[in-house]
Chains A and B, each alone.
Chain A
Amino acid sequence: MSANLKRSNAPIFWLLFGAGGMLSALLGPMLVFITGIAIPLGLILSPDAMSYAHMQAFAHHWLGAGFVWVIVSLFLWHAGHRIFHSLHDIGIHAGTTAKLICYGIPLVATIVAARAALVSLT
């Protein structure tokens, strides 16, 4: 066997994956319902609820900006990790390229979303 005892850096990605998974399970369906069904069809919420003015006000508040940043980045970390492991499952063995793409996109998105959130607050 001769195990490779080099310490794995997987906990970083596993925790981001876990946090994103928890959030997407709790909030994902609700967000799909609000943004994709309720508002376009005028169910429960008024069609005006997601107007530009409302959304701008939402993103300009530190709580709203933080919410958008956390949702965008953690959902992507979750998806990236899931895709990375699914590629392995279907026989595309995760090399450096797969790792760079699957974790690079969430990393870039996290930085871009953080910057956008900060800009909207100032």
Chain B
Amino acid sequence: MTSAAPTEIAVRRDGAVRMGFFTDTTVCIGCKSCEVACKQWNDLPADGYQFRKGGSYDHTGALGASTWRHVRFVERLEPSPAARADAEAALAAGGGGHVPNIPATGGGLPRPEELGGAGGGGLPTPEELGGAGGGARPEEVPDLVQWAEQNGDTPVVGEGDVDVGAAVAAMDRWLFMSDVCKHCTNAGCLDACPTGAIIRTEFQTVVIQPDVCNGCGYCIPSCPFGVPNRDPYDGRAAKCTLCYDRLQDGLEPACAKACPTDSIQFGPYDELVETAKGRVVALHERGVESAYLYGAGDEPGEQLAGGLGAFFLLTEAPERFGLPARADSPAQENGPYATAAGLAAAALAALGTIASFAVARRRGRG
């Protein structure tokens, strides 16, 4: 199993094992109790009261210095295979009407006046609709308004039997994911921290010590997941501690404690990975074949940041949740190059030194 380098562990405690989070998005109900429990336990302030466009019910936006758990909402528009087949068949038979399809989220909706005047154009061809293949993202679903604009047609509610627009734009799934610091095995933030403020604890979690942090901010670009951020009031970096204070007292972290559906599970890392793998198998058996683990159980060499202490069960591509498909600590990624560059620089410097001595010697001789 993945484990941090023993030399990196800053706190010693007999019997302490790596602890982590397993966040199962298939049972998340988007209630945000993790977000609230986290703020309450850690006494974090609200981020402001901004109503955000897009993003469903997400009004806190992202992980940050005062949001250590964040629930992301994804409204997935995707035609069901049956609906799309119906639409295609109806169009092929010339009998499809349509309600215009406009993506639910994201700006740039055409205004009515922007839409072209009436024209005699036809409806999208099955080939065009077929472009909205399985796994399409909202922006890839054919936008009939755009299509109509290009073809000089005003979208209207058609007279055919099949709502083509509805068939390709129907709400398919609404997904929720509670995001958190990944407590990476190769922790970019820790690698980058020049003051030693960021340490690896006896539970192999990654914690920023606020009393040591000088606010340099090097950790922020060094995290491939965009987790740590600086507090706008005191400038220090902050992120999830995996409730280090609670762990030391044998309590589970506040978010896991509050989760009503056990979407967030906490425990010894090795046990969690086994649980999670069993969960993937069970979901596959139930027909949820897209289920996979993000950040755990990968082959060595393919691990995200050497393996994530807080890992996820996802059913969609990681980008859907704002997660990178591949990630590692910049120090790890750039290590060989940096080493090579450093060695080259050292060699150059050495050569330079030798050269200067040589010059001096020549001068001395001269």
Do the two chains belong together in a single complex? no
